Homo-oligomer: A and B are copies of this chain.
């Protein structure tokens, strides 16, 4: 792990544990650099990443500050459902309705950079927060890249862990598309909503070492979740 990553993780932990409450100013970059025994650029790299995530913001001449607003479901470049939910102090969960392997459709093939008809794993289920349903998901993976994923998904609680078991260590979200639809009867039933209630639909494409590894479709119960986008401050 790179230096800036470990510094970034350490600061994130300190902020989470309340060592730096919202609104407080962090020590100056030079001081942090001395504390971690690195160059000031390395500290800047670490704080820039945290600013990307929305935890920090910087003001030229003034300092680097801890952001005030806690977020609900941050869509940052590394989207991890379990970790996101755990960080907000709730209990993540998941049920799986179906896991299958079948030829890719046209849209799926294009999204994943495959030829139509090549095999993909598909997992469908419900995401839970504090044991209540918040979202339906349908995730699609190239079978050639992660042949043993179906077994791994059954074995592990989180997608991140299952992918790691298949050798995909650190995938990153390339893009997220957001739209909204109303729930049909089936969706409403699974999410304990009424038909016609609004759903947030996200389509996320994730990459690992230059290859597309996941196309994740998620339908969120809009009344139970707010997606937040932390933006960077350059």
Question: Chain A: residues with CB nearer than 8 A to chain B?
Answer: 49, 52, 54, 57, 59, 62, 69, 71-72, 75-77, 172-182, 196-200, 207, 209-210, 220, 222, 225-234
Contacts and interface: CB of A to CB of B under 8 A. Distances in A.
Q: Please tell me how many copies of the chain the complex holds.
A: 2
Nearest to A183: B198
A108 to B, nearest CB: 14
B198 A72 contact: no
B172 A72 contact: no
A229 B202 CA distance: 10
B227 A199 contact: no
Contacts of A180: 180, 198-200, 220, 222
Contacts of A182: 182, 196-198
Given A52-B232, A75-B229, 9 more contacts: A77-B233, A172-B234, A175-B229, A177-B227, A177-B229, A178-B227, A180-B180, A180-B200, A182-B196
A228 B178 contact: yes
A59 B77 CA distance: 16
A187 to B, nearest CB: 12
A172 B210 contact: no
A210 B77 CA distance: 25
A54 B173 CA distance: 11
Given A178-B227, A228-B177, A196 B196 contact: yes
Contacts of A172: 231, 233-234
A6 B180 CA distance: 36
Contacts of A228: 175-178
A76 B231 contact: yes
Contacts of A71: 175
